[in-house]
């Protein structure tokens, strides 16, 4: 059962959550949201997300937790956190190039 759970987390992490986060963050950047962010904030968020993702994924890989122990679930959680942060990093990288300021013009009356 735990092996199935591990495969499910791997599949969902890389093929569902990661692309969805990347698309959502890139779309928000294209729309100019959040309004207080600019390209430099997307670069900063990308850098911190890559560092956090790398740490979580490498730590989860090197844990050597057995499937029959409670540490296996910590390893799965770290892997899922790392893949989510990798999705955030991808979205912020897309946001760097897709960012545009919101249109400040008044609507025509």
pLDDT < 50: residue spans in the chain: 109
Cα–Cα distance for residue pair 89/109, rounded to 1 Å: 41
What pLDDT, on the 0 to 100 scale, is given for residue 84? 92
Domain locations in the chain as residue ranges: 12-98
What pLDDT, on the 0 to 100 scale, is given for residue 51? 97
The whole model's pTM is what? 0.82
What does the chain look like in DSSP terms, one character per residue? Answer: -HHHHHHHHHHHIIIIIHHHHHHHHHHHHHTT-STT--HHHHHHHHHHHHHHHHHHHHHHHT----TTSTHHHHHHHHHHHHHHHHHHHHHHHHHHHH--PPP-PPPP-
């Amino acid at each position: 059962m735990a092996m199935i759970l591990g495969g499910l987390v791997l599949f969902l992490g890389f093929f569902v959550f990661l692309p969805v986060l990347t698309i959502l963050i890139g779309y928000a950047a294209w729309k100019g949201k959040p309004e207080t962010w600019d390209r430099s904030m997307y670069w900063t968020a990308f850098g911190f997300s890559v560092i956090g993702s790398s740490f979580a994924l490498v730590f989860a890989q090197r844990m050597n937790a057995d499937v029959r122990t409670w540490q296996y679930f910590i390893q799965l959680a770290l892997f899922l956190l790392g893949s989510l942060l990798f999705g955030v990093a991808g979205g912020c990288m897309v946001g760097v190039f897709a960012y545009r300021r919101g249109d400040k013009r008044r609507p025509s009356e």
